[in-house]
Amino acid sequence: MATVPTPEDAARYILKIFKEKYGCRTGQALKFNNFMNCFNLQPWKEADLAVGMEYAVQQNWVEILPNGVSFKLTNKGFLEA
């Protein structure tokens, strides 16, 4: 049976995608598909990504850009990763 990540686990994985997978620095953005491609490598679902992204936004690690499909890594998120 697959383990369901906590919101914080999913958010930290999002930060890992920004920093380790794509080498992003503060202020750089990625589209939703970049994250979904990585989440599909885990036994997780799109809903886990949504909950993780919400947690990351609440922690000020990530900002949702006006188009709603891109996410920007904040300095706080970069340091937390």
Which residue spans within 5-73 are E strands per DSSP? Answer: 29-31, 62-64, 70-73
This prediction has a pTM of: 0.91
pLDDT of residue 36: 87
- Here the tokens at position 18 are 């920004």
- Cβ atoms within 10 A of the Cβ of 78, count? 17
Structure confidence by residue, pLDDT tens digits, 35-60? 988 888 788 888 999 999 999 999 99
State the Cα–Cα distance between residues 66 and 81, nearest whole angstrom.
Answer: 24
Query: Residue 6: which pLDDT band, with cuts at 50, 70 and 90?
Result: very high
How many Cβ atoms are within 10 Å of 74's Cβ, its own excluded?
18
- List the Cα angle 15/45/8 in 5-degree steps: 40
Pick the CATH number of 7-80 from 3.40.50.720, 1.10.3720.10, 1.10.10.10, 1.20.1630.10: 1.10.10.10
